[in-house]
Amino acid sequence: MATGYKSAAVVDKGGNQIFLLQVDPDTYAAATLTVDTYLFNLGNISESTVDQTASLSEYKAEDGETINTSYEYSRKTTGTLMQSDADLINLLGDTVKGKTYLEGKYTGYVNSTYQWHFKIVKVTPQFSVKRPGGATSMPYESVGVKLKSTATFAATTMTGIAAGLTLSNFPTTTLTIGVSKSYEIQEV
């Protein structure tokens, strides 16, 4: 399998990018940085959203007064990938099933810095191929995992990701994703 940026597989304009690194589902330890086995560049994105939503639960007494409230959070990345070659279809339709990943998404040049959004995710196994219009037909969706413990990726791992996927303007310092947020934004 050879995923990654392929200019010949892009039909329209380029966009930001997403990569996935397989991790242990319990310890979040990174797999070997082997490109197209455990480390994947999903190529350009025609559109995307990274969001966190909160669901409020209110606990009321008999008199209708709210006694307590709590929130449940959902972290999700959605987008439309611009490539739809067999390698990407196989990755998103089958390889991701039951696996946990560190997702890195370049969200753009913001406030004079290059911004990257990281979280531990499960990827929705799906694909859609449409012709014409292939550059706007491949769906991507991931759901952030509520962390059981802090996920830490050493600077050597981050440097290895950048080198393996030929990423520029990428943070190569230690990445720490805390339990409370379950995501991390780094700017370089």
Kindly state whether residue 150 falls inside one of the protein's structural domains.
Answer: yes
Mean pLDDT across the chain, nearest whole number?
88
Domain hosting 98: range is 7-187
Kindly state whether residue 1 falls inside one of the protein's structural domains.
Answer: no
Q: What does the pLDDT look like over 60-79, one tens digit per residue?
A: 888 888 888 888 888 999 99
pLDDT value at 30 more than 80: yes
CA 116 to chain centre: 10
Q: DSSP for 160-185?
A: HHHHHHT-SS---S-EEE-TTTS-EE
| Spatial distance between the Cα atoms of 103 and 99, rounded to a whole number of angstroms | 12
pLDDT value at 152 more than 70: yes
Across the range 122-145, mean pLDDT stands at 87
Strand 100-110 versus strand 66-81 pairing type: unpaired
The pTM score is 0.86
Kindly state whether residue 67 falls inside one of the protein's structural domains.
Answer: yes
Kindly state whether residue 157 falls inside one of the protein's structural domains.
Answer: yes
Greater confidence (167 vs 112) lies with 167
Across the range 150-163, mean pLDDT stands at 98
With bands split at pLDDT 50, 70 and 90, how would you rate the model's confidence at 14? Answer: very low
Buried b (16+ CB within 10 A) or exposed e, 106-143: beeeeeeebbbbbbbbbbeeebeeeeeebbebbebbbe
| Spatial distance between the Cα atoms of 34 and 176, rounded to a whole number of angstroms | 22
Kindly state whether residue 2 falls inside one of the protein's structural domains.
Answer: no
pLDDT value at 13 more than 80: no
Q: What does the pLDDT look like over 74-119, one tens digit per residue?
A: 899 999 998 888 999 999 999 999 999 999 999 888 888 889 999 9
Kindly state whether residue 183 falls inside one of the protein's structural domains.
Answer: yes
Domain total of the chain: 1
Please give the C-alpha separations between residue 86 and each of 9, 14, 45, 93, in angstroms, as whole numbers. 10, 19, 17, 10
Token pair, residue 100, equals 């946990």
